[in-house]
């Protein structure tokens, strides 16, 4: 940094001393990452500015103390840097009233969820944070952490365990209702969270489970919500931009694209902020918005990220500028994802597609292929199986969905002798050790695809029975390994 003599971000450097008093706490948010700080926090700031209310957010970071420490050193403030090639806008939301690291004080998580002042517990813990089995969609009872959390008296460490123990404590103390609001890219995220919570409760000893199940049914709601904003990891460039333009040091600025969207089911057990003030939409068609977004945006994003990484592109705009990647992206979006979704009323799909490509082309943002490509083992199950099964049932091979899976496997667990490149190696994935073990035992793409999809059911049980899909994925893995991602993309397009 060249601006070390500047003051740190604070209420006074941000010019907020007299603006308004901090809100009282009302929301506990699990997952204090960049996405939450550029999305829900911004909407909550607009809601409080317009209508007041006790909706201050207590942010809980799972392991990392970076954001928590910086927030505390900066009067709980940070800067959102909205950026595109044409625009740059800074804003400083003022909504966080406290923050802590769960791993440093695990008992505090259920306690905070149980506090009477808490009306909403919201989540951005990523697909990976729900401890669900990609095979069944249900709770991953094989996970040691889940087993540990089910034992009476243990302090929970999984998100689902923390929610259940927090609700149980509410039931035993004041009993006031609460909303659990998932803001992650899971299909039917509210319903899915509710199922996982109920499943956890059903595995508790009977003495605990029956009253609790009934209490949750009567006093807790789980609205679904579709969240959308591209938010990369921050870099020193953003810290520099804030210092140069605003004259203060912010250790944790959040970059974000100008576009933002939030569609929610209006089903809150204990009230909610007027998020409409920030542009949120309350709708009875959330499931349609979610499907549209998780498939057209996130699904296509995965294909762009994996083909991009294999072709050496570090960022999404670099990847989508490659001709064959753009063609593959258009094809998967129009021919393979679109037929599986119902369009919410008022949404024009052609405009939606045009807007997606222009968002992906945002060269100012620096969104990395390795970021979008991370955690594919838990993301792809949300994006691929249902549209693939629908096409297969109608007798059509989903070439580009198979290509997405082939490119993913080639990035994370290539066969011996193939180097997928630096961007692929930078992708994190909880299944990497397992998949690499399978790759080491495989002699061909088909062999590897069979082990990953057939034996290990990476994309669920139903797809594991489709030999034609598995073989096509395997053949595309071989083409990628022998002739490169461009040849595989051309093969998929011409098949």
Per-residue contact string for residues 126-155; x = within reach of ligand CS2 by CB under 6 A: ------------------------------
**Cβ at position 471, least distance to ligand CS2 in Å:** 27
Cβ closer to ligand CS2: 292 or 372?
372
Cβ closer to ligand CS2: 200 or 306?
306
**Cβ at position 183, least distance to ligand CS2 in Å:** 10
Q: If binding means CB under 6 A, how many residues of this protein chain bind ligand CS2?
A: 9
Cβ atoms of 459 and 384 closer than 8 Å = yes
- Determine if 382 is a binding residue for ligand CS2 (CB under 6 A): no
Nearest-angstrom CA–CA distance, 455 and 438: 10
Cβ closer to ligand CS2: 121 or 292?
292
- The window from 114-122, 218-226, 236-244, 371-379 that contacts ligand CS2 (CB under 6 A) reads 371-379
Q: How does DSSP classify residue 104? A: G
- Binding ligand CS2 (rule: CB under 6 A), the pick from 201, 372, 389, 448 is 372
Which bin fits 362, alpha (ψ -120 to 50), beta or left (φ > 0)? beta
**Cβ at position 218, least distance to ligand CS2 in Å:** 33
- Determine if 229 is a binding residue for ligand CS2 (CB under 6 A): yes
Cβ closer to ligand CS2: 23 or 31?
31
- List CB contacts of 186: < 8 A, sequence separation 6 or more: 127, 130, 192, 193, 294, 382
- Determine if 32 is a binding residue for ligand CS2 (CB under 6 A): no
Cβ closer to ligand CS2: 188 or 298?
298
- List CB contacts of 320: < 8 A, sequence separation 6 or more: 304, 308, 326, 329, 357, 360, 361
- Determine if 298 is a binding residue for ligand CS2 (CB under 6 A): yes
Strand partners, 57: 27, 96
Two tokens, residue 25: 């706490």
Nearest-angstrom CA–CA distance, 425 and 483: 19
- Determine if 46 is a binding residue for ligand CS2 (CB under 6 A): no
- Binding ligand CS2 (rule: CB under 6 A), the pick from 37, 192, 301, 450 is 301
SS3 262: strand
Q: How does DSSP classify residue 211? A: H
- Determine if 48 is a binding residue for ligand CS2 (CB under 6 A): no
- Binding ligand CS2 (rule: CB under 6 A), the pick from 228, 287, 423, 475 is 228
- Determine if 379 is a binding residue for ligand CS2 (CB under 6 A): yes
SS3 251: coil
- Determine if 257 is a binding residue for ligand CS2 (CB under 6 A): no
Nearest-angstrom CA–CA distance, 281 and 275: 8
**Cβ at position 67, least distance to ligand CS2 in Å:** 18
Q: How many whole angstroms from its chain centre is CA 394?
A: 31
Cβ closer to ligand CS2: 101 or 230?
230
Per-residue contact string for residues 153-192; x = within reach of ligand CS2 by CB under 6 A: --------------------------------x-------
Strand spans (E) along 115-188: 120-123, 178-182
- Determine if 37 is a binding residue for ligand CS2 (CB under 6 A): no
- Residues 87-111 as b/e (b if ≥16 CB within 10 A, e otherwise) read eeebebbbbbbbbbbbeeebebbbe
Nearest-angstrom CA–CA distance, 162 and 307: 37
Cβ closer to ligand CS2: 372 or 452?
372
Cβ atoms of 28 and 121 closer than 8 Å = yes
- List CB contacts of 202: < 8 A, sequence separation 6 or more: 209, 213
- Determine if 230 is a binding residue for ligand CS2 (CB under 6 A): yes
- Determine if 300 is a binding residue for ligand CS2 (CB under 6 A): no
- Determine if 386 is a binding residue for ligand CS2 (CB under 6 A): no
Nearest-angstrom CA–CA distance, 412 and 15: 47
Binding site for ligand CS2 (CB under 6 A): 185, 228-230, 298, 301, 371-372, 379
């Amino acid at each position: 940094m060249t601006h070390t003599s500047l003051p740190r971000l604070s209420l006074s450097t941000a010019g907020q001393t007299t603006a308004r008093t901090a809100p009282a706490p009302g929301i506990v948010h699990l997952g204090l990452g960049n996405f939450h700080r550029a999305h829900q926090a911004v909407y909550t700031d607009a809601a409080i500015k317009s209508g007041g209310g006790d909706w201050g957010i207590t942010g809980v970071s799972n392991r990392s103390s970076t954001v928590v420490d910086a927030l505390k050193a900066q009067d709980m403030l940070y800067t959102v840097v909205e950026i595109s090639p044409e625009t740059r806008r800074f804003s400083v939301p003022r909504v966080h009233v406290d923050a802590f690291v769960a791993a440093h004080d695990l008992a505090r998580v259920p306690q905070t969820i149980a506090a009477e002042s808490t009306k909403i517990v919201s989540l951005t813990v990523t697909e990976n944070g729900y401890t669900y089995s990609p095979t069944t969609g249900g709770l991953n009872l094989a996970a040691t952490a889940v087993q540990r959390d089910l034992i009476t008296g243990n302090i929970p460490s999984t998100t689902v365990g923390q929610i259940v123990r927090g609700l149980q404590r509410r039931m035993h103390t004041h009993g006031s209702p609460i909303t659990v609001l998932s803001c992650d890219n899971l299909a039917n995220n509210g319903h899915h969270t509710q199922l996982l919570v109920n499943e956890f409760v059903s595995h508790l000893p009977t003495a605990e489970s029956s009253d609790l199940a009934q209490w949750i049914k009567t006093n807790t709601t789980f609205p679904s919500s579709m969240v959308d904003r591209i938010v990369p990891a921050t870099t020193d460039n953003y810290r520099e931009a804030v210092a140069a333009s605003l004259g203060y040091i912010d250790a944790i600025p959040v970059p974000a694209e100008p576009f933002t969207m939030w569609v929610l089911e209006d089903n809150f057990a204990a009230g909610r902020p007027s998020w409409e003030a920030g542009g949120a939409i309350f709708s009875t068609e959330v499931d349609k918005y979610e499907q549209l977004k998780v498939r057209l945006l996130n699904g296509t994003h995965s294909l762009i990220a994996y083909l991009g990484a294999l072709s050496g592109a570090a960022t999404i705009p670099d990847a989508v500028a490659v001709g064959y990647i753009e063609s593959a992206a258009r094809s998967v979006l129009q021919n393979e994802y679109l037929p599986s979704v119902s369009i919410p009323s008022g949404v024009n799909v052609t405009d939606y597609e045009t807007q997606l490509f222009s968002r992906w082309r945002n060269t100012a943002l620096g969104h990395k292929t390795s970021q979008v490509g991370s955690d594919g083992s838990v993301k792809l199950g949300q994006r691929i199986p249902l549209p693939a099964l629908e096409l297969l049932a109608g007798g059509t091979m989903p070439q580009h969905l198979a290509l997405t899976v082939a490119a993913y496997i080639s990035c994370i667990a290539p066969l011996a002798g193939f180097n997928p490149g630096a961007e692929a190696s930078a992708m994190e994935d909880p299944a990497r050790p397992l998949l690499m073990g399978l790759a080491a035992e495989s002699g061909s793409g088909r062999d590897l695809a069979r082990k990953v999809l057939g034996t290990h059911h990476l994309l669920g049980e139903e797809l594991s029975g489709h030999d034609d899909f598995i073989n096509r994925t395997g053949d595309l893995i071989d083409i990628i390994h022998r002739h490169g991602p461009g040849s595989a993309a051309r093969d998929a397009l011409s098949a």
